[in-house]
Amino acid sequence: MNFMPKMNRRDFVVGAAAGSLTLGMRIPFDAAEAADGAPEVNAWVVIKPDETVVVRIARSEMGQGTLTGLAQLVTEELECDWSKVTYEFPTPGENVARKRVWGDFFTAGSQGIRSSNEFVRKGGAAARMMLIEAAASEWKVPAGECTAQNGTITHAASGKKTTFGAVAAAAGKLEPPTEVKLKDPKDWKVIGQGKKRLDTPIKVNGEAKYGIDTQVPGMLYAAIKACPVTGGKLASFDAGKVEGRKGVKKIVKVEDNAVAVIADSWWRAKTALDALPITWDEGENAKVSSASIAAWLKEGLDADTALVGNKTGDAKAALASAAKKVEAVYAYPYQHHVTMEPQNATARYTDDKCEVWTSTQNGEAALALVSETSGLPIAKCEVYKTFLGGGFGRRSTSHDYVKQAVLVAKQMPGTPIKLLWSREEDMTHGWYHPVTQCKLTAGFDENKNLTALHIRISGQSILATVAPARMQEGRDPATFSGFYPGGAEAAFGYDVANVLVDHSMRNPHIHPGFWRGVNINHNAIYLECFMDELAKEMGVDALEFRRKIMAKHPKHLAVLNAAAEKGGWGTPAPAGHFRGLAQHMGFGSYVAACAEVSVQGKNVKIHRIVGVTDPGYAVNPAQIERQIAGSFVYGLTGLFLGGNTVKDGRIEQENFDTYDMMRIAQMPKVDAYVMPSQGGVWGGVGEPTICVAAPAVLNAIAAATNTRYRTFPLRDHGLTLV
Amino acid sequence: MVKLTINGKAHEVDVEPDTPLLWVIRDNIGLTGTKYACGIAQCGACTVHVDGQPVRSCAFAVSDAADKQITTIEGLATNGTLHKVQQAWIDNDVPQCGYCQSGMIMAVAALLKEKPKPTDADIDKAITNICRCGTYQQVRAGIHAAAANA
């Protein structure tokens, strides 16, 4: 059969950048030889004579567990023995050469499993059919009389049995099937099981290779500094001051804004760079500060016109005639991704080939950039993907480090060079969670019914900078995540007759980026904290207040009810403990949280936080539970400790001493509940829960202290997470 | 030239004496399991053992490690048998991205040597490594599991 993996707009953006990348129809089951000479059954599956099953994984593994989940999907349909399953990452170059047989490499937006589940499962099913056909052909019996289970093929009538490994070579020579039928979810045996991760053994002994661990014979090392003010330029540097230092090979200009030192070790490169006199031309942006950004955004809260994301009824008219109005203004700061592995790439350039080894969430975009930067066609370029020491969106759309590595390598042709950013370089040259402010205005009628809601967001658009092609008539649709009037992605979960959500776009020079969870992080804080404010204003319990306006949103309500119940809502809390709720939808999944906190003076202790997720289908509940727990850490770190500030046009925080992360002592007890409602929905799990962490805790803090915090991080208010 | 013993093997390296041990282990010796993340001894990703003590090698001069026994994540298993912390990490599926876990495991191995049955409070005090994926709940479970496996 022919099928085309679903192409979304993002693919076309990538494709456009890639120039010669082939987008379109392909038959993904053609076989070739695997890297080690073992025959493929098809592009997804290699079975070795010893019965080892190698599953090809196109998406990147950055901790989220996609690797294991995708292997489960293939295994389910292949009917192989899970204990024999291993994996390998095909390269983006191979994908292009084979007409994108593995589909999209993009690993962000919680898409790892969501957008490839169908063709990955079909890859497994097609391989099973071919293996059966090969056995049936050898036995001269109809394939329809044979079955496969646990890597063994059986012909019941004759009692014949063989193994996948024994027929794999013959299967690989067969024509791929034209019709592939997938299992009914009720028959799943591997999907839905909390299988252990396949990549754990090599992550406990130092064997797992991340981009930073790349070793190529003859390799040199480079350290780099770019202008600390985004948009500024490199004016000059005095190479003579460091040229004679031991191990230093070359000092090179990179683009118009950076300088790198190449040396025989990274430490020598880094210390020489630190000693290098550099003059920057910082430009106009050097005048920008957090205060100037905040003032600009504040104007947007009351601007006459704005880009509309959700208009239901007539909120402005309803507010004008409301019996009671409630208003609040919130703000959410810049946040750095802080991948534990700083940005890096190793590049080798010759006139005939350019190769890059790197941690990337999008190998194909990296490949396109290598081609563009090196000036060589895609066929002469290659990107070797490694494990990622965290991604969180930083390595999805912005491969500035890859571009720099190629430009450095081009200045020393033939020599592989590992470019590594220092933590300070990384922290100050991020693609930050966008900065926004939000004014929420609610109107009630005489009977205390919520009749109108106006949510005005003022601030930065990610897409305007990162992917302008995805803007919709000047509007950034991602801005309204969680506020969409409907749809399967991130729909608003309340039934209010008159709703207006609009955006006053203000784009400061600091680069915005997709920060794990993206816009639902602040949107959920704004809405869910405000909902608690409204409930309090009306003298109604926060859960009851929400329930009353959620009848038309049963999935939102189901996770909220579950979080409330598991969190003990409505039952007495331990002395001094207070609870808070939040719910939201994002990435196709419904999430809710119930936090229990105590506050002593300025010290906040989160005793417990319940997280409930309905992702539709749950491929690996054990890993989803870990994503829920980790998401709480990500969201709460941002709430209490994060928040990047701008001074003289540059990001002020340079390392963990000024930009701290949650540690184990601050970790609340997390009770995670996965509630898969199935129904054809494949929701994401790596991101959604982050957005309910902060509002649930903020609502609990408000209950405990009678103080409503509306600007973040909480450290600005003197609050400490203990 | 600095003389080092890493995972029982003798090395001689030509580096400036104030070079952080981390970079010697990674770039000169080629053992990349020990990770760089902050360079200022804040996060613990670079933790190794020097004469059995946990050390943040990104801020530890190589000259201070001369003639001492250095153990990295690659040398934690003995004769092919995983250290009980490594085994507990597998049993509890602790790592996510895994980048910080070499340092985390080395820090935990050192804690268990000093306190074979640590309480949660002991863990909170001793384990200050940063895990950005937030696997702390599994780390805690892993530590207790390793401690139980005396």
What integer pLDDT is reported at residue A34 of this predicted model?
A: 57
Same domain? For A91 and A118 the reply is: yes
pLDDT at A25 over 50: no
Q: Strand A344-349 vs strand A354-358: parallel, antiparallel, or unpaired?
A: antiparallel
Give the mean model confidence (pLDDT) for residues A413-425.
98
Give the mean model confidence (pLDDT) for residues A56-78.
96
The Cα–Cα gap between B140 and B125 comes to 12
Same domain? For A599 and A536 the reply is: yes
Which of the 8 DSSP states describes residue A662? Answer: -
- Coil, helix or strand for A521? helix
Give the mean model confidence (pLDDT) for residues A207-229.
98
Same domain? For A565 and A583 the reply is: yes
Which residues 614-653 of chain A have a CB within 8 Å of chain B? 622-623, 626, 629-634, 637
Instruction: Band the pLDDT of A111: cuts 50, 70, 90.
Output: confident
Half-sphere exposure (CA, 13 Å, Cβ side) for A480? 28
CA distances, A414 to each of A268, A347, A351, A385 (Å): 21, 10, 9, 20
Same domain? For A535 and A672 the reply is: yes
Size of interface A-B (CB pairs under 8 A): 180
What integer pLDDT is reported at residue B43 of this predicted model?
A: 98
Residue A262: which CATH number?
Answer: 3.30.365.10
What integer pLDDT is reported at residue A28 of this predicted model?
A: 43
CA distances, A239 to each of A228, A253, A266, A418 (Å): 19, 10, 17, 20
Provide the residue count of chain B.
150
Query: Hunting for tokens 């506020």 — which residue is that?
Result: A483
Instruction: Band the pLDDT of A35: cuts 50, 70, 90.
Output: low
pLDDT at A8 over 60: no
Chain A residue with minimal CA distance to B89? A204
pLDDT tens-place string over residues A449-463: 999 999 999 999 999
Of A387, A390, A629, nearest to B137 by CB-CB distance is A629
CATH superfamily of B2-75: Beta-grasp domain (3.10.20.30)
Q: How far apart are the first and last CA of chain B?
A: 41
Q: Higher-confidence residue: B23 or A2?
A: B23
The Cα–Cα gap between A653 and A600 comes to 28
The Cα–Cα gap between A35 and A572 comes to 61
Chain B residue with minimal CA distance to A630? B134
What integer pLDDT is reported at residue A149 of this predicted model?
A: 97
- A373, A395, A420 - which closes a domain: A420
Give the mean model confidence (pLDDT) for residues A381-400.
97
Q: What's the token pair of residue B107?
A: 């820090």
**Shortest alpha-carbon distance between residue A340 and chain B (Å):** 6
Among the listed residues A332, A306, A533, A327, the one whose alpha carbon sits nearest the alpha carbon of residue A440: A327
What integer pLDDT is reported at residue A33 of this predicted model?
A: 59
Of A208, A626, A632, nearest to B138 by CB-CB distance is A626
What integer pLDDT is reported at residue B100 of this predicted model?
A: 98
pLDDT tens-place string over residues A313-355: 999 999 999 999 999 999 999 999 999 999 999 999 999 999 9
In a domain, A427, yes or no: no
Same domain? For A604 and A490 the reply is: yes
What integer pLDDT is reported at residue A7 of this predicted model?
A: 29
Q: What's the token pair of residue A250?
A: 């070359």
**Shortest alpha-carbon distance between residue B101 and chain A (Å):** 7
pLDDT tens-place string over residues A469-507: 999 999 999 999 999 999 999 999 999 999 999 999 999
Bridge partner list, A147? A154
The residues of chain B scoring below 50 in pLDDT are none
pLDDT tens-place string over residues A654-687: 999 999 999 999 999 999 999 999 999 999 999 9
**Is the sign of the CA dihedral A4, A5, A6, A9 positive or negative?**
negative
Strand order in the sheet with A324-332: A307-312, A498-505, A450-459, A436-444, A324-332
Same domain? For A185 and A262 the reply is: no
Q: How far apart are the first and last CA of chain A?
A: 58
Instruction: Band the pLDDT of A213: cuts 50, 70, 90.
Output: very high
Q: What percent of chain A has pLDDT over 70?
A: 95
Q: What's the token pair of residue A702?
A: 């408000």
pTM for this entry: 0.95
Q: Cis bond leading into A695, ω under 30°?
A: no
Among the listed residues B70, B54, B60, B56, the one whose alpha carbon sits nearest the alpha carbon of residue B115: B54
Q: Measured between beta carbons, which residues in chain B are less than 8 angstroms from residue A339?
A: 99, 132
Q: Are A257 and A233 in contact (CB under 8 A)?
A: yes
CB contact under 8 A, A204 and B101: yes
Instruction: Band the pLDDT of A299: cuts 50, 70, 90.
Output: very high
pLDDT tens-place string over residues A144-195: 999 999 999 999 999 999 999 999 999 999 999 989 999 999 999 999 999 9
pLDDT at A427 over 80: yes
Among the listed residues A516, A518, A529, A499, the one whose alpha carbon sits nearest the alpha carbon of residue A461: A518
The Cα–Cα gap between A495 and A497 comes to 7
Per-residue burial over A587-609, b = 16 or more CB atoms within 10 Å of its CB, e = otherwise = bbbbbbbbbbbbbeeeebbbbbb
Q: Are B127 and B108 in contact (CB under 8 A)?
A: yes
Of B36, B72, B123, nearest to A212 by CB-CB distance is B36
pLDDT at A31 over 90: no
In a domain, A271, yes or no: yes
Per-residue burial over A648-678, b = 16 or more CB atoms within 10 Å of its CB, e = otherwise = ebbbebbbbeebbbbbbbbbbebbbbbbbbe
CB contact under 8 A, A212 and B32: yes
Q: Strand A381-385 vs strand A160-163: parallel, antiparallel, or unpaired?
A: unpaired
Q: What percent of chain A has pLDDT over 90?
A: 93
The Cα–Cα gap between A669 and B94 comes to 16
Q: Give CA A560 to chain center in angstroms.
A: 24
The Cα–Cα gap between B48 and B61 comes to 13
Q: Give CA A347 to chain center in angstroms.
A: 25
Same domain? For A86 and A164 the reply is: yes
The Cα–Cα gap between A368 and A353 comes to 14
pLDDT at A6 over 70: no
Q: Which are the contacts of A545, defined by CB distance < 8 A and separation ≥ 6? A: A531, A534, A535, A538
Same domain? For A561 and A615 the reply is: yes
Q: Where are the beta strands (DSSP E) in A239-323?
A: 248-254, 258-263, 278-281, 307-312
A509: contact with B, CB 8 A cutoff: no
Q: Are B135 and B95 in contact (CB under 8 A)?
A: yes
- Computed over every residue of chain A, the mean pLDDT equals 94
Interface with chain B: mutation pick from A61, A196, A204, A338, highest number of B CBs within 10 Å: A204
What integer pLDDT is reported at residue A665 of this predicted model?
A: 98
Chain A residue with minimal CA distance to B26? A213
Count of other CB atoms within 10 angstroms of residue A631 = 29
Q: Measured between beta carbons, which residues in chain B are less than 8 angstroms from residue A60?
A: none
Domain coordinates of chain B in residue numbers?
2-75, 84-148
The DSSP secondary structure of chain B, one letter per residue, reads -EEEEETTEEEEE---TTSBHHHIIIIII---SS--S-SSSSS-TTEEEETTEEEEGGGSBGGGGTTSEEE-GGGSSBTTBPPHHHHHHHHTT--SS-TTHHHHHHHHHHHHHH-SS--HHHHHHH-----TT--HHHHHHHHHHHHH--
Same domain? For A389 and A480 the reply is: no
Q: Are A255 and A404 in contact (CB under 8 A)?
A: yes
The DSSP secondary structure of A125-180, one letter per residue, reads HHHHHHHHHHHHHHHTS-GGGEEEETTEEEETTTTEEEEHHHHHHHHHTSPPPS--
Instruction: Band the pLDDT of A2: cuts 50, 70, 90.
Output: very low
A196: contact with B, CB 8 A cutoff: yes
The Cα–Cα gap between A438 and A14 comes to 32
Which residues 438-497 of chain A have a CB within 8 Å of chain B? none
Q: Are A251 and A262 in contact (CB under 8 A)?
A: yes
**Shortest alpha-carbon distance between residue B86 and chain A (Å):** 6
CB contact under 8 A, A669 and B82: no
Same domain? For A127 and A153 the reply is: yes
The Cα–Cα gap between A106 and A438 comes to 31
Same domain? For A311 and A456 the reply is: yes
In a domain, A83, yes or no: yes
Q: Which are the contacts of A71, defined by CB distance < 8 A and separation ≥ 6? A: A55, A57, A85, A87, A198
Task: Provide the residue range defining the domain that includes A410.
Answer: 212-283+343-420
CA distances, A393 to each of A465, A609, A686 (Å): 15, 25, 11
- Coil, helix or strand for A322? coil
pLDDT tens-place string over residues B22-54: 999 999 999 999 999 999 999 999 999 999 999
In a domain, A3, yes or no: no
Q: Are B34 and A206 in contact (CB under 8 A)?
A: yes
Q: Are B27 and B14 in contact (CB under 8 A)?
A: no
Instruction: Provide the residue type at A548 as one letter.
Output: K
B36: contact with A, CB 8 A cutoff: yes
**CATH of range B84-148; options 3.90.1280.10, 1.10.150.120, 1.20.20.10, 1.10.1520.10:** 1.10.150.120
Of A266, A388, A629, nearest to B97 by CB-CB distance is A388
Query: How many domains is chain A partitioned into structurally?
Result: 3
Dihedral angle of Cα B57, B60, B61, B67, to the nearest 10 degrees: -70
Same domain? For A585 and A616 the reply is: yes
Radius of gyration of chain A (CA): 27
The Cα–Cα gap between A718 and A602 comes to 6
Q: Are A371 and A353 in contact (CB under 8 A)?
A: no
Half-sphere exposure (CA, 13 Å, Cβ side) for A246? 5
CB contact under 8 A, B32 and A213: yes
Of A205, A623, A663, nearest to B86 by CB-CB distance is A205
